[in-house]
Amino acid sequence: MVPLPYYFALSLTLFSIGLFGALTKRNAITVLMSIELMLNAVNINLVAFSRFITPQALLGHLFVIFTITVAAAEVAVGLALVLTLNRHRDSVNLQDFTWLRG
């Protein structure tokens, strides 16, 4: 069996790639995808820990089912908003919106 540190390294890499993408990309869809990457890194962590640390309790597996469901709901609302904005502005580029004035 592949030892735990490998899973952890994989999830850390995925999380970093996702975080980098979410903070630097300017396309709304790409940002949503990057956030999905981060959530999947969390899922890998949870399932790996569940398998290695609490193999009987399946707590991590249970948690993952909830995160997947909620992430799907979040993307559904997110894409609906992107579609609405695309209809008005003809763009999915975050810089074309008037936001982030701080």
Chain positions contacting other proteins, by CB under 8 A:
8, 11, 15, 18-19, 22, 28, 31-32, 35, 38-39, 41-42, 45-46, 48-49, 53-54, 57, 59-60, 62-63, 66-67, 70, 73-74, 77-78, 81-82, 84-85, 88-89, 97-102
Residue 1 or residue 73: which is nearer to other proteins going by CB? 73
Nearer to other proteins, 9 or 77 (CB): 77
| Closest separation in Å from C-beta 2 to other proteins | 16
Which residues lie closer than 8 Å to 30 by C-beta, 6 or more apart? 21
Rounded CA gap, 52 and 15, in Å? 20
CB of 6 to other proteins, least distance (A): 14
Calpha distance 82→86 (Å, rounded): 6
Joined together, the tokens standing for residue 37 give 């990457």
DSSP 3-state of 11: helix
Which residue reads 């569940």 in tokens?
A: 50
**Cβ 63 to other proteins, closest distance in Å?**
5
